[in-house]
Amino acid sequence: MANHVPLADMPPENAKAAAEVLGNAGYEVSVARVDASSREALHSRAEKATAIGDVTGLIRAAGDLPSQASPTTILKINLYGTALVLEEFGNVIARGEAGEIIASQSGHSLPPLTVEQSKALATMPMEALLSLPFLVQYRF
């Protein structure tokens, strides 16, 4: 269905507010509560999206700020959760389509990454991301 938009958010009120705006613009919208750092939740959401039809776009705007969450939560949502979304929806998005990742400014609160740290983030198996030595110091 070309104009169906599945929305997800942890606090469902946010998704419901967006659904109302999109619904008023003529879109069919479904809303779900999804933990953006849960592989199972994101996999399930990707499956539900493909059950509706071809996934022709993705916007990922989940993220926490230092004023909202602990460093552990920020790393789980902003880093690991983004990697999960890229993997899960990268597996189902229609050929030739694209997604948009809207990042938090939280990454700018850490010191600049070295070349080695950047390479480690790019090549580390996803399940080991949060174990990188230079990130462990920020976890509680």
Per-residue pLDDT, 107: 66
- What average pLDDT does range 29-52 have in this prediction? 92
Question: Could you report the per-residue pLDDT of 80-104, keeping only the tens digit for each?
Answer: 999 999 999 999 999 999 999 988 7
pLDDT of res. 16: 87
**Residue 2 — pLDDT band, cuts 50, 70, 90?**
low
Cβ neighbors of 16 (< 8 A, separation 6 or more) are: 31
Structure tokens at 28: 């069919």
Each residue of 73-82: pLDDT tens digit? 888 888 899 9
**Which pLDDT band holds residue 39 (cuts at 50, 70, 90)?**
very high
What does the pLDDT look like over 102-131, one tens digit per residue? 887 766 667 788 999 999 999 999 999 999
Count of C-beta atoms within a 10 Å radius of residue 56? 12
